[in-house]
Structure 1
Amino acid sequence: MTTNLLFDFTVDKATKTVFITREFDAELSLVWDAFTKAELLDQWVAPKPWTSRTKHMNFEVGGRRFYAMVSPDGLERWAIQKYTSITPKTNFKMFNAFADKDENPELPGSDWDFNFSEQGGITKVNISIYNESLERLEKMIEMGFKEGYAASMRNLENLIRSLSGE
């Protein structure tokens, strides 16, 4: 098992974009599934002690995922992800917006672009998150997005390890 895997998190306020690069010691197909299947997403995407609960997900162009991050005391923070482009095993793009429990989006949102590649058994995921407003980007950062996403990536690494039988 490789332990010195890359995790890079960069905020570019001039372009209102967050850039994340993360490597995983796993085959591309497993990492792809972890990002694109609700039953796997719900196991890692929420930083602990929060949990994730997908109400519905249709991973296809024009499809969407509606899910909540749930706090230990039951507070639900809903979000909608609309899939705008999918190239199997290499790329998908989505528009993400917070929402209320009735699926009414809270705009502005952000455009996420996920790129997957594998070399020598290491899968690299490059993510860019473009925010429609600088205010939204700054709010994400203030809410602890970097720390929360780093925790989610650790959850994903542990999930991949368990799915790989390590």
Structure 2
Amino acid sequence: MPDAAIPSETARDLVLTRLIDASPEALYRCWTIPDLLVQWFAPKPWSTPRATLDVRPGGACTVVMADETGTEYPNRGQYLDVIPNRKLVFTDAYVGDWAPSEKPFFTCILTFVPENGRTRYTALARHWTEEDKQAHEKMGFHEGWGLCTTQLEEVARRL
């Protein structure tokens, strides 16, 4: 089985980890199948009207979130590393075909590690600057990603 270890944390990282009552395969599917991702990705009452995912190293992804009024916020990025059922790494530094984004903000490293019939799910948000990390924290990283992780678990448990 490929190594899915999280790299050492830096001063620019925000980390959420949780033991989830679902398999690594179910969690991975929830992150890589658009019809599943749109069910949990945005913290309610926000929604995720659509997602386009080309899950492979170098593949582009676009996830559109919408607020309560329907205003949409597209999030474009690119996958850097994909180890099925174990690890996903993506960034907003590129927006597909290695085209640079206007303002890179972070790289996300997700791991799905089996643990006693459950999964140790870890999301590490590695920011380009400490200022970006602080801004993400003030936006409610832990609260928002925590709510989304609860929603993710609900969807994954149904699979």
Tell me if TM exceeds 0.5. Answer: yes
1:157 aligns with 2:145: no
Q: Which sections of structure 1, spanning at least 5 residues, go unmatched?
A: 1-11
Indicate conservation of the 8 Å contact 2:110/2:124, yes or no: yes
**How many residues are paired up?**
148
Q: Superposition pairs for residues 52-91 of structure 1, below 5 Å?
A: 52-91=48-87
Write the letter of the residue equivalent to 1:49.
P
- The one-character-per-residue Cα deviations of 1:136-155 (angstroms, maximum 9, x if unpaired) are 11111111221111111111
Greater share of residues in strand: 1
* Whole-angstrom CA distance in 2 between matches of 1:54 and 1:104: 23
Indicate conservation of the 8 Å contact 1:47/1:149, yes or no: yes
* Whole-angstrom CA distance in 2 between matches of 1:78 and 1:43: 16
Corresponding residue for 1:40?
A: 36
Indicate conservation of the 8 Å contact 1:113/1:128, yes or no: yes
Equivalent position to 2:116, from 116, 120, 125 = 120
Write the letter of the residue equivalent to 1:114.
L
Other structure's SS at 2:90 match: strand
Equivalent position to 2:142, from 146, 152, 160 = 146
* TM-score with structure 1 setting the length: 0.79
What is the deviation of 1:160?
2.3
Other structure's SS at 2:103 match: strand
Tell me which of the two structures has the higher relative contact order, counting C-alpha pairs closer than 8 angstroms and 6 or more residues apart: 2
| CA distance 1:41–1:17, change in 2 (3 Å) | same
* TM-score with structure 2 setting the length: 0.83
CA RMSD of aligned residues (A): 2.3
Other structure's SS at 1:60 match: coil
What is the deviation of 1:105?
3.7
Write the letter of the residue equivalent to 1:160.
A
- The one-character-per-residue Cα deviations of 1:6-62 (angstroms, maximum 9, x if unpaired) are xxxxxx7x6211122122111221111112211111110100010013342211111
Indicate conservation of the 8 Å contact 1:27/1:121, yes or no: yes
What is the deviation of 1:79?
0.8
Write the letter of the residue equivalent to 2:132.
R
* Whole-angstrom CA distance in 1 between matches of 2:43 and 2:102: 22
Write the letter of the residue equivalent to 1:29.
E
* Whole-angstrom CA distance in 2 between matches of 1:69 and 1:76: 6
* Whole-angstrom CA distance in 2 between matches of 1:23 and 1:35: 16
* Whole-angstrom CA distance in 2 between matches of 1:118 and 1:158: 18
Indicate conservation of the 8 Å contact 1:54/1:65, yes or no: no
Corresponding residue for 2:5?
A: none
